Structure 1
Amino acid sequence: MMANTSKSSEIIQGYKDTLKRQVEELVLRKIPRKVVELNVLLENTNKFKAMNHSDVIRTPQDPVVTEQGEEPTKKRQKKSKYNYDEEIIKNQVLVTNITFPSNKELSELISVIEPFIRQLIEDTSMLKMWISLMPKIEDGDNFGGTLQENAIGQIMMVLSEAKKFLCQISVYFEARGKIVSKVMKYPGVEDYIRAVSKLDKEERVNLWLVVCAIRNHYYSLYDYLVKYWE
């Protein structure tokens, strides 16, 4: 029994030692590099420049309808560059298999930013575990214990916000999909097309703010942890 307990203790201690080395590598090397990468991304104005939204979304043009008196059972299909089929039945156009593309520039930008968000979540989760496993600092005025609690609180705040960044991207795609479905249903209503353009512009600004926030979180974590070690 004692042998098993001793072996378990060695495994736990080995995990703690490995975690400590990983945290030191993160704080002293990886975080400074990450800040530089994020600054370079923010300075790349082409990534966040105002995009031309006139071609963001288009609706099928010049629909073909059947002539008066044509048999209601007769169907025709028309292929178009918008990748849709039109089933024309008795003076009606039923649009099926239609595809509206995502905003290409924003999709590419999201693919660049999303790994930074996921990495921030991973880094803060590791920092939280590291501080949680540390022995509680005891001193006369309990300053050490308060410092540990504050550090965990700071890390949890960053972790929570990073998770919200991921949710924000999902919310954007969901909201855009709903508006696009309105465009499909009411192709003659220009306000829906403008709504898509406005949503894309807002998301571009939001993504810029997300990158700024990630960089600032790394700044604050670095500063806080260095002071914590001191």
Structure 2
Amino acid sequence: MSFVSKRGKSAKLYPRAFEASKTLRKATSDKAISYISMMPTKIKHLTELISQFRDSKDDVLKDCIIPTPSSGPGKNDAILMTNKKLSEMVKIVISESRELIEIYECWRMWIQMHTMPIEDGQGFGHDVQTEVMTDIASAIDNASALSLSSTVFHSDRAKMVEKICKYPKIENFAEALRVADEMEWRDMSNAIITMRDDACHLLDLVQKNRRHLENPFGSSHHLHHSMF
């Protein structure tokens, strides 16, 4: 029995479940397609952020305020400020990575809903779906790792500031904080570049293979050159 025949039989046996599945498929497809349409705008935004991050190094170093003995914990209720510019960059990276993960997860579900059984003999259509799904999974892993690394920024920096307050006469701790802030600036700048590059690659891949992703039964081997 073919995959199409099985679906027809399921529709007769479980009409409500079939209609619910059909509604979900349509909603997911509509959302996935809307993401395809808006992705060029997202890529443009990420490109602009790359430029902004690259030009922010001086501001990051300026905001790296080294605490003094008079500004330490318990001194006149002093509040040890974080690096505001760097914190802003970290928030942006976390926000952008989460938005991209949402888009990629939607694309993955959209493709899964159109996945065909390999036994139907449409090997090429299945290969296209597998390749695209693999690249989507890689992009999700990248975005998740960037978001996770960004969230530990404040705790790691707080430990360095605590050491400076505890040992104010050891200049190496102060210099280590400056170096750490500069390295974080570089990491955040590279994070935006990675997200932009992944977004460009996946958009190109999905656009070129959209027909095969949505209708793998219509794929044929002689169309293999269109991928990538």
TM-score band (shorter)? 0.7 to 0.9
Kindly indicate whether residue 120 of structure 2 is the aligned counterpart of residue 111 of structure 1.
Answer: no
Q: Superposed, which structure 2 residues align to 1:74-93 within 5 Å?
A: 82=71, 84-86=73-75
Tell me which amino acid in the other structure corresponds to 2:132: A
List structure 1 segments (4+ residues) > 4 angstroms apart after TM superposition: 137-141
SS in 2 for 1:50: helix
Pair 54,187 (structure 1): closer, same or farther in 2 beyond 3 Å: farther
Instruction: Report matched runs for 1:62-211 at 5 Å.
Output: 82=71, 84-86=73-75, 99-136=79-116, 140=121, 142-211=123-192
CA distance in 1, matches of 2:188, 2:107: 25
Residue from 30, 42, 45 that aligns with 2:50? 42
Task: Please name the residue that 2:225 is paired with.
Answer: none
Q: Distance in 1 between matches of 2:129 and 2:63?
A: 53
- SS of the aligned residue for 1:44 comes to helix
**Cα RMSD between the aligned structures?**
2.5
Q: For the structure 1 residues 203 and 150, does the alpha-carbon distance in structure 2 shift closer, same or farther, using more than 3 Å as the test?
A: same
**Cα offset, 1:41, TM superposition:** 1.8
Larger RCO (CA within 8 A; separation ≥ 6): 2
Q: State how far apart, in whole Å, the 2-side matches of 1:54 and 1:190 are.
A: 18
Residue 67 of structure 2, aligned match among 55, 59, 73: 59
1:69: which partner in 2? none
Shift of 1:155: 0.6
Question: 1:47, CA displacement in angstroms?
Answer: 5.2
Mark the runs of 5 or more structure 2 residues left unpaired by the alignment: 1-10, 212-228
Counterpart-to-counterpart distance in 2, 1:222 and 1:35 = 9
How do 1:11-50 residues align onto structure 2 when only pairs under 5 Å count? 11-27=20-36, 29-44=37-52, 48-50=56-58
User: What are the superposed Cα offsets for residues 169-207 of structure 1, whole Å, 9 maximum, x if unpaired?
Assistant: 123222212211211211111100111110100111111
2:134 & 2:54 partners in 1: Cα distance? Answer: 36
Correspondence for 2:197: 216
The Cα of 1:40 is off from its aligned counterpart by 1.8
Q: Distance in 1 between matches of 2:148 and 2:79?
A: 25
| 8 Å CA contact retained: 1:106, 1:204 | yes
Q: Distance in 2 between matches of 1:17 and 1:210?
A: 33
Distance 1:222 1:103 in 2: 35
Corresponding letter in the other structure for 1:102: T
CA deviation digits over 1:18-73, x for unaligned, max 9? 1111111111x210110111112223367533336366233334x6xxxxxxxxxx
Q: 1:85 to 1:173 in 2, by over 3 A?
A: closer
Structure 1 Cα separation of the partners of residues 174 and 112 of structure 2: 50
* Maintained 8 Å contact 1:57/1:193: no
- 2:137 counterpart letter in structure 1: M
Please, which moves more after superposition, 152-161 or 36-45?
36-45
What TM-score does the superposition give when structure 1 sets the normalisation length?
0.77
